Amino acid sequence: MQSTADKVRVGAAAEAAAQAALAATGWKVVNLNELANNFRFADVLAKQGSTKLLVQVKGTTTSEGKFGALPQRAQGLNDLAQELDAIALYALVHLTAGGPVIRFGHAQQVASLAAERIAAYHGTLRYHLYITDFIYEAKDLAEFVE
């Protein structure tokens, strides 16, 4: 099991990678954790033109690219984004020796997929998502979010 220091390190690296990927594709990025000292539902607010993204970043160093994501948290992000007239996304960041692999998915998709996997597993399921569950990269977001 990861120590708290390792979780913080992985989270910070994942957030930095997601922010860099978004900025490199033309999004203006604000790290919400810097504004609110660990914002509850989202880590990043990104804006391009009139489109706003509210992004929850999840990082992992597991060899399989496994992530924990609770359906209730994903639904909370989706609800908050609707109130703010934004699009709720998850950025899944697989930190590998070759560099980060980043994929994006809608919060509603994350909530549904995590709920399905939790319901199908008879025990405590720590990981609910895989990097391979998602195909969209930062360069695809303009068409993905429309």
In the chain, the amino acid numbered 107 is A
SS (H, E, C) 106-141: EHHHHHHHHHHHHHHCCCCCCCCEEHHHCCECHHHH
Every domain of the chain and the residues it spans: 4-144
Residue 31 has pLDDT above 70, yes or no: yes
5 band by pLDDT with thresholds 50, 70 and 90: confident
101 and 85 Cβ atoms separated by less than 8 Å: no
Whole-angstrom CA distances from 111 to 17, 48, 98 are 23, 25, 29
Q: pTM score, two decimals?
A: 0.92
- Is 28 a residue whose pLDDT tops 80? yes
pLDDT digit string, tens, across residues 62-120: 999 999 889 999 999 999 999 999 999 999 999 999 999 999 999 999 999 999 999 99
pLDDT of 36 strictly over 80 = no
Residue 1: its pLDDT value, please? Answer: 62
CA atoms within 13 A on the CB side of 80: 19
> For the domain 4-144, what is the CATH code?
3.40.1350.10
